[in-house]
Structure 1
C-alpha cells in the first residue's frame, strides 16, 4: 500500500467520524441545551425573555447572536439558558439530555462544566444544584447504555471570574469529589478579571491534591496563560489557543518557540482547543488558519472540544469534520487527539488507561479495518469482472 493510499485508507467519512470514540474535556452545560428544551422550560417556569419561542428559530438566534467576533457578546447569550435552569427538575433534565446527546454523537468520555452559583435564583442551594446535575448525568448514562452507547460524564464545577465565590466553589468541588465531580474551573471574561484574584481557591485545591483547569489564552493572550500556569498552577488550559502568539513561523517554514510555548509543550500541558468557538470569538479567522494545525504538527498536547454546542451549532463530530476538511486529518489524527484528551482527563490513571486500551484504540482499529475490508472486496470484485 502506498503512502497516498494509506492516507486515504484512514480518511474518515462523516459516518465514521460520528461513530469514532471521542473524548471531550471542554463543554459547558448551559451552552449545550436543546432549543426545544429551552422553550419548554421557559414555558413551565414563566421565563418570558426568550427572543424566539419557535425551537428552530431560537436555535438560529443563538448561533447568530454568538457569531459576533466578541467574547463578551458571546457570553451574553447565556442569560437565556441559565434563566431556564433554576429548578431541580430543569437541571436534571438538561444534564440528562446532555449525556444522551454526547453519547449519540460517539463521545465515550466527557467532562462537562457549569457554575453552581448561577442556578440559585429559585431558591436552590449549591449542594442541591450539584446533586441535581449529577443525577441527570447518571440518568443520561443509563439511557445511553439502553440505546447501545457507552459514555461516562464527569462534572467540573466552575467559579465565575468576576464574582467572589471561587473558594466556596472549590470547597464544593472537593466535597463532591468521587461523587460525580472530577475537578474545578474558572470562567467568564478574561480581560480585567485575572485568575490571580482567586489564588486562595487554587491554593486550597493544590493542598487537597485536587484537579483544576483555568479558562486562559482565549481572548486575553499570553499573560493570561502565564498567570494560569505559573501563579495558579493549572493542570490544563481552557482554550489556550493564544499560545500561538509565542510561536514564530519563518518564511522558510522553520519554527521557533518562545519560552512560554516551550514550557507548555515540554510539560505536556493540555490545551482544550475549541475551533468553532474560537472562530466566533475572534481567536482565529478560519478553520484552515486555526492554530490547532500547527500545534498538532509541533506535538503540543492538543485536544478538540465543543465549548458550547448550542451557541456554536456544533458537536464533536462537526468539529472533527471541519478539521478533516481543513487539514486532511485521518482516523490516526482523530485517535491522537482522543488519546491526548483521555490522558489529560481528571479521572484516576488506571481508569484513563482502561478507556484508552479497551475503548478508544479498539474503536479506531475497527473503523480502519472497515476501509481495508471494503478495499479488499472491491479489488477482488474488479479482478473477477476482468477475467
Structure 2
C-alpha cells in the first residue's frame, strides 16, 4: 500500500496509541523475564541468568544467534515454568496486561496445551488456567481489549485430533480456533488431515504455520489439502511472484489464488528475520505483498525472544517503508476482518474502536 500525499506519517507515540490487532502471538514466547525468574524459583528450574535484565539479554542473544538449537532452547525455559495452574494463569494475565499497554484492542494468543501437562494438569485444566488469566486481565482493563485463545497442536506429535476436539469443546468459552506449529520440513500439515477434516465438519476456524521455514509446497498443502483459513507467516509465497527488471509483477497460480481468495497472511517481521525467512525489515516480503494488496497482517510471534511488541513491529515498518496512518489502519482492519470472531463482533471493533481511533490520530495533524 503506497503512501498517499495527504496521509500522515505517524510518530512513534502515535503508533503506540493507535488501536492494534494481533493474530499471531505465542503465549510461551511472551513472558516477562522477572516472571520467568519468579516461577523458576517456585518450581526449581535452573535458568541461564538470575537477573531480569541479564535473562532478557540471554533470550535476545539466543534468538539472534542464528542457531536453531539455541533458539529452541529458549522455549525449554519458558515452557518449563508453565506447568501449574497458577503459573499459567499468571503468564496469561500478564500477557493481556502487556498487550493492553501496547494499544492492542483485540488479540488471539496461541499455545500448545500438550506442552503444559508435565506437572500433572489435564489438557482441560491448562485451557481453564489460561482463560482464568485472560478473564482477570480483560476485566481489569475495563473492556479496552478482547482476547481469545488459539489451541496449537505440534506437527511432530500425534495429538492433533485430541487438541482439535479440545478446541471445539471450548468454543464459545474463550477459544476461537486451532493452530498447528513446529518444524515444517519433514512434518507436512497433511499428516494431521483427520484433525482438519474434523474441524471443518464442526464449522471451526483454524490457521496453519506454513511458508516460513519451508516453501510453496507447505503453503499449497495448508490451503488446498487442509483448508486453512489463514497462513501463519506465509512469507515464502514471495517465491511464486516474479518481479521483472522494469518493475512489472507476475503472480504464479498459487500466489494469485492466495490473493484472490483474500487468505490472510500472519506476518511477523522481526521473527522472520531471526529465523532467516527475511534478510531485513527493508527486504521483508511484506513490502511487496502490501503493495500488491494481499491480505497482510502484522504480528509479533514471540515478544520475548524477538524483544518486540506490536508498536515496535509497526514502527519498524513505518521507518522502512514510510507507511502512514492510513497504511497502519489498513493492516489493522485486515487483521480484524481475519479474526476468528463472529462477524458482528468483528464489525463492532472495526467501526467502534479501530476507525475512530485512527481518525482521532489523523485529526492531530
TM-score (ref. length: structure 2): 0.98
Describe how 1:112-127 pairs up with structure 2 within 5 A.
112-127=109-124
For residues 129-181 of structure 1, the C-alpha deviation after alignment (integer angstroms, 9 at most, x for no partner) is 00000010111112222xxx710000000000000000000000000000000
Residue 248, structure 1, aligned to residue 242, structure 2: yes
Q: Could you say what secondary structure the match of 1:178 adopts? A: coil
Question: 4+ runs of 1 displaced by more than 6 Å?
Answer: none
Secondary structure in structure 2 of the residue aligned to 1:153: strand
Deviations 1:246-266 (A, max 9, x none): 000110000000000000000
d(CA) in 2 for partners of 1:60, 1:340 = 33
CA contact (8 A) 1:71 1:189 kept: no
Partner of 1:329: 323
CA offset digits 1:276-304 (Å, max 9, x no partner): 00000000001000000000000000000
Match of 2:333, SS state, is helix
CA contact (8 A) 1:184 1:211 kept: yes
Equivalent residue in structure 2 for 1:38, among 14, 36, 39: 36
Secondary structure of 2:24's partner?
strand
CA distance change for structure 1 residues 156 and 88 in 2, over 3 Å: closer, same or farther? same
Aligned residue runs from structure 1 range 1-387, under 5 A: 6-7=6-7, 10-48=8-46, 50-69=47-66, 71=68, 73-145=70-142, 150-371=144-365
Instruction: Give distance in 2, aligned partners of 1:21 and 1:74.
Output: 31
Structure 1: runs of 5+ lacking an equivalent: 372-387
Shift, 1:325, TM fit: 0.3
Residues matched between the structures, number: 363
Structure 2, unmatched stretches of 5+, are none
- What's the C-alpha RMSD, in Å, of the aligned pairs? 1.1
C-alpha distance in 1 between matches for 2:344 and 2:72: 37
TM-score (norm 1): 0.92
Shift of 1:75: 2.8
Structure 1: distance between partners of 2:226 and 2:131: 27
Partner SS for 1:334: helix
Q: What displacement does 1:72 show?
A: 5.5
SS of aligned partner of 2:306 = coil
| Cα contact 1:63–1:312 (8 A) shared by 2 | yes
Deviation of residue 5 (structure 1)? 6.0
Please give the secondary structure, in 1, of the residue aligned with 2:28.
Answer: helix
Counterpart for residue 375 of structure 1: none
